[in-house]
Amino acid sequence: MALRIRVLLENHKGAGADKSLKVRPGLSLLVEDESTSILFDTGPDGSFMQNALAMGIDLSDVSAVVLSHGHYDHCGGVPWLPDSSRIICHPDIARERYAAMTFLGITRKIKKLSCEVDYSRYRMMYTRDPLPIGENFIWSGEIPVVAPEAYGIFGGHDAEPDSILDEGVLIYQSTKGLVIITGCGHRGIANIVRHCQNITGIKRSYALVGGFHLRCASPFTLWRVRRFLQEHKPEKLCGCHCTGAWGRLWLPEITAPATGDVLRF
C-alpha cells in the first residue's frame, strides 16, 4: 500500500467527494502504510468522525492519534475519540491560549484558540522529544526556532506570548525520502523541514502535506518559503487548511487536498 493519506476533514470539500461529507475550518487526516495507521489531528468537532463513517472508515483500531498542537481546529474533536485511545502530543497541548491584540501598550484577548478537553480519558503519551511510531513513522517533538513568532498569548494575567512551542509534525520515512505532515506550520516550513532532516538523517524531502500557515503571510515570508522549497525541491507539495490563497499563488506547483480526497505516495 505504501503511504496513503485520507482527508477526513478540511476547510473545503474535494471535487469528487460525497455530498454528505462535512467541511469545517480545521484538519484531520488518516495516515496509513502496510502496518501502521495514524489519525493526525481531529478538526474542531466530531465532523471528522461522521465523515469517516460516511467514507466507510473504522477509526476504532488506529495505532495512534497524533495531535499537532493545541489549537481548537486541530484538537477540538478529541472528545469524539473512543475512550483509551492512544494519543501522542506535546505536554503543553492543553494550555489555555488566545488570539490577542496590543494597543497603546495594553494587550487584550480577542478569541480563545484552545479548547476544553478531558485528556484523562485517554492513554496519553506526552513528549517534547522525537518518538518513533511503528516502523516508518516518527513524531517530531519540539521544532527549534531561532526567533520564534508569537501567534497569541497564553491564559493568565501576564500575557505570556505563545509561539506554539507545542507544535510537532508527523514524519514518514519512505524509500523516496521524507513525507512531512504538518498541522499548521506555525513554526515555519523551513524550520520544520530542517528539524525533520536532522532527527532522521535523511536529507531528501519527498513530500510536504498539510497546513503551511501562509494565508496571511507577508510577501517577504512567502518569497523566503518559495526560495527554500525551490532549493530543496520536494517532489510533491500538498498544501491545505491554512496554506491559503497567497500560499497557492506563490507556490504554483502546489495542490490543495480537501475533505474526501485520498493521497498516495
Model confidence at 246, pLDDT cuts 50, 70, 90, reads confident
| Nearest Cα to Cα of residue 139 among 147, 131, 151, 150 | 131
Q: Which pLDDT value is given to residue 159?
A: 83
Dist. CA 145–CA 229, nearest whole Å: 18
Count of structural domains within the chain: 1
Asked whether residue 157 carries a pLDDT value surpassing 80, the answer given is: no
Mean pLDDT of 159-170: 96
Q: Are 192 and 185 in contact (CB under 8 A)?
A: yes
Predicted confidence (pLDDT) per residue in 60-84, tens digit = 989 999 999 999 999 999 999 999 8
Please give the pLDDT value at position 82: 94
pLDDT (average), residues 165-190:
98
Single-letter amino acid code for the residue at 141: G
Q: No. of H helices and E strands in the chain? A: 5, 16
Instruction: Note down the domain range covering 179.
Output: 4-264
The model's pLDDT over 114-150, given as tens digits with 9 standing for 90+, comes to 999 999 999 999 999 999 999 999 999 999 999 898 9
pLDDT value at residue 163:
97
Could you report how far apart the first and last alpha carbons of the chain are, in Å? 9
CATH code, domain with 38: 3.60.15.10
What gap in Å lies between CA 244 and CA 25, rounded to an integer? Answer: 12
Instruction: Read off the pLDDT of residues 212-240 as tens digits, 9 standing for 90 and up.
Output: 999 989 999 999 999 999 999 999 999 99
Rounded Cα distance between 95 and 158, Å, is 14
pLDDT of residue 1: 64
| pLDDT tier at 105, thresholds 50, 70, 90 | confident
Say whether pLDDT at 17 is over 80. Answer: yes
